[in-house]
Amino acid sequence: MKLKDEKKGFTLLELLIVIGLLAAVVLTIYSLYEFGTKTFMQQTNEITVGTELRDAMDLILMECRKGQRFSNDDRSITTKDNIVTFELDDKLLKMIKTDRSTGERTETVLCYSVSSFRFDVGTKKIDIAICSDVKDSKGNEMLLEATHFIRGSN
């Protein structure tokens, strides 16, 4: 009578090959996860800063539309009810409204992480530019520019 040689199991070499392949798959999945997370966070930051820049520019242009007089010296707009000035203070772009009748001041932060702000009043137009110190995915500064044309006299 013959004895059957039935050995069940894996050899050490087979186990090492499977562990190596499994480690490669896990590392690949983890690196893809890290890349996706980093890209998501960067794009979220870009979108947030871009939205912040556009909202700030919208508010500035809204005040320009109400404006009766404009000044380059203190970056101000005089409206019927307020004097609105814009100030860049430690990367914060602020809008300061002073009520013309009561002198009451309200300060609003329009944008964070601003590296430069330009408010150039010409005879018929105002050039406005807000530049963020946050870089986009291509490494460029995030810059928003607008021109407001002045109706009537300055």
In the predicted structure, residue 5 carries a pLDDT above the cut 70: no
* Residue whose structure tokens are 């966070």: 41
How large a percentage of the chain has pLDDT more than 70? 94
Q: Which residue has the tokens 């500035």?
A: 60
- pLDDT of the residue at 33: 96
pLDDT value of position 29: 97
Q: Based on C-alpha coordinates, what's the Rg of the chain?
A: 30
What confidence tier does 134 reach under pLDDT thresholds 50, 70, 90?
Answer: confident
Range in 3-12, 122-131, 145-154 with the lowest mean pLDDT: 3-12
> pTM for this one?
0.76
Average pLDDT, stretch 19-47?
Answer: 95
For the chain, which residues make up each domain, given as ranges? 15-149
pLDDT band per the 50, 70, 90 thresholds, residue 138: confident
